[in-house]
Amino acid sequence: MRMSVPAYFCLIFATALILFTFALNRDPSFLLAALPMLAVLAGVPIILNMMNRRQAESINMENFKLYSIKDLSRLNPGDPVRLRGRVEALSLKWLNRPHFRIDDGSGKIGVMLFAAAHEDIKPGDTIEAAGTLRSFGKSREKKVFGVRVVKLSG
């Protein structure tokens, strides 16, 4: 369980504002109101992360048909897919919404997650990803909205 970098930043900023305000006016009733707000500010991202992970873990990857990346061109957006490949690049891990660029030997595709995986996945690791196929931008580049990623080796 971890919060994203922006969530940590907001929590630290709010804590600093509360401490500054309390230093100017030492009213204990202010702290009685502000400290629960800080707890909520810290708790909500953690609870949402736990809920996202629990939902991802409940997904049975066997319900998704395994495809090679080159075969995705004949599928329609919204089709469920499962892919295996080596992670070439990783971005947005600091947001707890990692985006992977994977290569299975037949092609490359982006996989975007909405919940961070339990395993620490790095470039060079082999993963299996399940999700739905989506098209983006004017070029209609296909990507996978991943619902679950499992590290196979690394």
pLDDT tens per residue, range 90-123: 888 777 788 999 999 999 999 998 877 778 889 9
Give the best-scoring range by mean pLDDT among 95-99, 126-130, 140-144, 149-153: 126-130
Rg (CA), the chain: 20
What length is written for the chain? 154
Q: Tell me the pLDDT band of 154, cut-offs 50, 70 and 90.
A: low
- One domain, residues 35 and 51: yes
- One domain, residues 82 and 136: yes
- Identify the CATH number of the domain in which residue 115 sits: 2.40.50.140
pTM of the model: 0.74
- d(CA 5, CA 94) in angstroms, rounded, equals 6
pLDDT per residue over 11-69, tens digit each?
999 999 999 999 998 999 999 999 999 999 999 988 888 888 888 888 888 889 999 99
- One domain, residues 53 and 102: no
Domain count within the chain:
2
- One domain, residues 90 and 122: yes
- One domain, residues 78 and 134: yes
Domain range enclosing 72 = 61-153
- One domain, residues 43 and 99: no
- One domain, residues 53 and 66: no
- One domain, residues 34 and 92: no
- One domain, residues 142 and 69: yes
Instruction: Answer for the pair 42, 95: CB distance below 8 angstroms, yes or no.
Output: no
DSSP three-state, residue 134: strand
- One domain, residues 69 and 13: no
